[in-house]
Amino acid sequence: MALIRYAAVAPFVFVVACGSGARFSPPAASMSTASPMPTTAAATTTPPRLIPPTPASASTAPVPLVGVKTPSEFDPPSSSILGVAFADAQHGWLIGIPCGGDNCIVLRTTNDGGRTWHPTGRPNVPLFGQPNSVHNIRLLTERDGWAFGPGLWVTHDAGATWTDQTPPAEVVDINVADGSAWQLHRPSDCQARGAPCIYTLSTSSDSGRSWREQASQPPIRRSQLSMVRHGALDAWIHAFGSALASDGSLDSTPAGGQFLVTHDAGATWQERPDPCTFGWFGDALSLSVDATRLWLVCGGQPGAGSQGPKAVFTSADDGASWDTVWKTAFSPGYVHGIVAISADRALLGSARAGGSVTETLDGGHTWSLAFQEPEDRDAGVFVLPFADALHGWAVAVSAVWRTDTGGDYWERIVP
């Protein structure tokens, strides 16, 4: 099996953030100090949209970049980019609402890694809040993909036409790997007190034309989750939030997180120690590009633009043990996803933190500003899983950031 689960990790790896958002950005300080998120002085000159690598800068730390605000179709109040996904380094889709209303969903596609975006068809979705409405996107190939949450629509012609596959439940996540797709759904009234909140895992091996419920379901006992996969067999789930009683109803008893592992395509699941005993809001699990390191960011109680505690954990042994590489008490910003390029280098998105994305070059012990989105609206910046060690993206409310240098340099693109 290609997954290297127990090997010692040399200085480089990657990570992904899935599913429900996380929010915050750790400070440019050592793990032993608790300080707010990094800030930078206002730029005195207009910075370029892209700082090209040079022989001189390639050997030094990346240059922080403050983006230049340019007009976007997602500039009007209440309009936003809802989701972005890539099938590979070149082919991606974007879903958003440019009119500031609920019924003006648009889709855009790119075939050059996000440099340019073009209109395509869209699902005939109703207003938000309806069972088959959508707010997220996922690709299996450049032609096959889904719009989902809470509904489910599928296309096999790059978005030209769509088919409604909405199940009698809300679709929480779709995760693709090695030509297969996994779908997690739960009852649509899950968040209501006393309502059942049991998750169901279904899989597809025919690009989403049909789905089959797993005979053995992951024993998820929390109300929210983050899942990552590697190949056809391996998956990890970090569940967090409110605990679930045996009947699936929300339990008010305080509880930490839950960490689940499968290496046989979900036929069996093992529960491992969970390091995040305080996780409540925006936790995110990620796996390195070469599948040698798991990363987990956890956030505690949020409030008034701050959150705490917050922590980053890493595991080199399949989640059997975890190292706490960074932790702080209540501080500004919300955790908002994590993506790592290597065992040493990772990126953290943020919300309520001025549009900043921070990065670590030493395995998570210290953090500094990678780039800053100028049009934040307190929505935050979410870093997407990289397609490979070089090509990655981040999503802001009205723009997409891209890198083809492994995060050394970032370009701000207005779709």
pLDDT tens for 133-161 read 888 999 999 999 999 998 999 999 999 99
Residue 370: domain span:
62-413
Mean of pLDDT values over 68-77: 76
pLDDT of residue 100: 63
- Strands of 341-381 (E only): list them: 346-351, 356-360, 368-372
What does the alpha-carbon distance between residue 108 and residue 369 come to, in Å, rounded to a whole number? 29
Is the residue at 2 inside a domain?
Answer: no
What would the two tokens of residue 235 be?
A: 């998956």
- Strands of 178-322 (E only): list them: 180-186, 200-204, 212-213, 222-230, 234-244, 250-251, 258-262, 270-272, 284-287, 294-303, 306-315
Is the residue at 363 inside a domain?
Answer: yes
How many domains in the chain?
1
Do 238 and 276 touch, CB atoms closer than 8 A? Answer: yes
pLDDT at 46 over 50: no
pLDDT of residue 111: 96
**Residue listed under structure tokens 């050997």:** 59
Is the residue at 95 inside a domain?
Answer: yes
User: What is the Rg, in whole angstroms, of the alpha carbon atoms belonging to the chain?
Assistant: 20
CATH code for the domain in which residue 122 is found: 2.130.10.10
- At 83-130, the pLDDT tens digits run 999 999 999 999 998 876 556 888 999 999 999 999 999 888 765 556
Is the residue at 251 inside a domain?
Answer: yes
**Residue listed under structure tokens 């929480």:** 172
3-class DSSP state for residue 58? helix
What would the two tokens of residue 93 be?
A: 């889709």
pLDDT of residue 283: 83
pLDDT of residue 76: 79
Is the residue at 138 inside a domain?
Answer: yes
Is the residue at 340 inside a domain?
Answer: yes
